């Protein structure tokens, strides 16, 4: 694979591709183009269970809790964003800007809905070149309303870059920042959200985010002792993001104020993996939850390994109160947000 192509873009698209194989539409990832855009898994050159699972049968792939965890996250993410896109267009957005697009498929899956809308995909040049090649190969080319804007908005000015590609800042716009905020330096994130906030009222943005302690924890994990039971998983993730480190999180519990200070009003925040997200997007028609068996089995295995390791080291396994656990979950949450220009 060419240097400079985002490995994380491949990884998230792989999780969407696996999720799109779920038979029940009530819990399926609607991204039926992810698999096509990825192409031959053997050529992807990203060594991660989620990418390797592309070569497996769906039921087999979903026995691996690491695969399941990623598939669940991406299914919630895709469906939340799909719904926000549909609402934004129904509400009068005439432009859609997808920042850090990677292998995003909205412009192609929603080509009918978006026919009267101008769509812009922004990404770094190398990743965008791969995307364009895959779109040519699989779909014969992009829809006529789509413009590719190869802009690195960490190092280049986003407003001018977009304008150069025909973006009209005076029109109501829906922005997608999927899998992006954590990879941007805080200044670039503020600048991007500030740019959104400067668009006409009714313009909106969806994005996923973590809180600052999560980013700090990830940075520490490079050097800190990680429990043996969690080490392979952590190492694989650190390897995956080795060229795309996580840099930015929002202040704990402060997303509303953070956005307000930039000129945006938070409409909804949805914790991924929380009860509401499971109910909306991960529950099959028969009431079962996508991947629940594999997750329960993995939790039991991990608890057993922690216990065994603790006993071997002569130490008591750490115990946490329910309140401490809840606080930990709150701080380490991974969430989706929908915000609007007031």
Ligand X SMILES: C[S@@+](CC[C@H](N)C(=O)[O-])C[C@H]1O[C@@H](n2cnc3c(N)ncnc32)[C@H](O)[C@@H]1O
- Scanning 102-110, 111-119, 140-148, 227-235 for contacts with ligand X by CB under 6 A, the matching segment is 102-110
Distance CA 278, CA 290 (A): 9
In 3D space, the residue among 280, 278, 299 whose CA is nearest the CA of residue 289 turns out to be 278
Using the rule CB under 6 A, is 19 a contact of ligand X? no
- Binders in 103-162 for ligand X, by CB under 6 A: 103-104, 122-124, 127, 152-154
> Shortest gap between Cβ of 322 and ligand X (angstroms)?
33
Interface with ligand X (CB under 6 A), residue from 12, 119, 294, 333 = 12
3-state secondary structure of 234: helix
CA distances from 115 to 95, 111, 196 (A): 11, 6, 22
Decide whether 128 or 203 has the Cβ nearer to ligand X. 128
Using the rule CB under 6 A, is 248 a contact of ligand X? no
Interface with ligand X (CB under 6 A), residue from 49, 102, 249, 291 = 102
Burial category of 285 from C-beta neighbours within 10 Å (exposed 0-12, middle 13-18, buried 19 and up): exposed
Using the rule CB under 6 A, is 33 a contact of ligand X? no
DSSP 198: T
Contact 83, 110 (CB under 8 A): no
Using the rule CB under 6 A, is 51 a contact of ligand X? no
Decide whether 156 or 288 has the Cβ nearer to ligand X. 156
Distance CA 34, CA 241 (A): 20
C-beta atoms surrounding 117 within 10 Å: 20
Decide whether 53 or 294 has the Cβ nearer to ligand X. 53
Distance, CA of 12 to chain centre:
7
Interface with ligand X (CB under 6 A), residue from 101, 119, 135, 205 = 101
The 165-204 site mask, x for binding ligand X (CB under 6 A), equals -------------xxx--xx--------------------
> Shortest gap between Cβ of 138 and ligand X (angstroms)?
16
Rounded to a whole number of angstroms, the distance between the first and last alpha carbons of the chain is 43
Decide whether 46 or 61 has the Cβ nearer to ligand X. 46
Decide whether 44 or 122 has the Cβ nearer to ligand X. 122
Decide whether 41 or 102 has the Cβ nearer to ligand X. 102
Contact 67, 60 (CB under 8 A): no
In 3D space, the residue among 215, 154, 159, 214 whose CA is nearest the CA of residue 185 turns out to be 154
Decide whether 32 or 154 has the Cβ nearer to ligand X. 154
Distance CA 225, CA 209 (A): 25
Q: Which residues bind ligand X (CB under 6 A)?
A: 6, 8-9, 12-13, 100-104, 122-124, 127, 152-154, 178-180, 183-184
């Amino acid at each position: 694979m060419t240097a400079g192509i985002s490995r994380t873009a491949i990884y998230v698209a792989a999780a969407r591709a696996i999720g799109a194989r779920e038979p029940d539409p009530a819990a399926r990832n609607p991204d039926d183009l992810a698999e096509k855009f990825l192409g031959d898994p053997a050529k992807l050159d990203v060594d991660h269970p989620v990418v390797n699972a592309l070569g497996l049968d769906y039921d087999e792939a979903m026995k691996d809790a690491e695969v399941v965890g990623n598939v669940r996250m991406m299914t919630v993410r895709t469906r939340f964003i799909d719904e926000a896109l549909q609402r934004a267009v129904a509400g009068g957005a005439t432009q859609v800007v997808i920042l850090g697009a990677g292998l995003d498929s909205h412009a192609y899956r929603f080509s009918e809905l978006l026919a009267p809308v101008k769509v812009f995909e922004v990404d770094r040049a190398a990743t965008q070149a791969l995307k364009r090649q895959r779109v040519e190969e699989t779909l014969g080319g992009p829809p006529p309303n789509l413009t590719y804007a190869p802009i690195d908005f960490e190092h280049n000015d986003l407003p001018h870059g977009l304008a150069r590609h025909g973006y009209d800042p005076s029109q109501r716009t829906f922005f997608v920042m999927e899998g992006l905020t954590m990879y941007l330096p805080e200044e670039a994130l503020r600048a991007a959200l500030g740019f959104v906030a400067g668009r006409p009222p009714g313009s909106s943005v969806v994005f996923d985010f973590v809180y600052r302690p999560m980013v700090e924890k990830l940075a520490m994990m490079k050097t800190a002792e990680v429990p043996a039971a969690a080490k392979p998983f952590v190492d694989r993730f650190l390897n995956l993001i080795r060229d795309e480190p996580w840099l930015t999180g929002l202040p704990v519990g402060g997303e509303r104020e953070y956005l307000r200070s930039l000129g945006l009003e938070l409409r909804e925040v949805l914790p991924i993996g929380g009860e509401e997200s499971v109910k909306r997007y991960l529950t099959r028609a028969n009431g079962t939850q996508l991947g629940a068996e594999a997750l329960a089995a993995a939790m039991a295995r991990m608890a057993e390994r922690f216990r065994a390791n603790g006993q071997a080291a002569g130490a008591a396994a750490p115990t946490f109160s329910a309140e401490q656990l809840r606080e930990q979950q709150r701080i380490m949450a991974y969430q989706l947000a929908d915000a609007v220009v007031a």
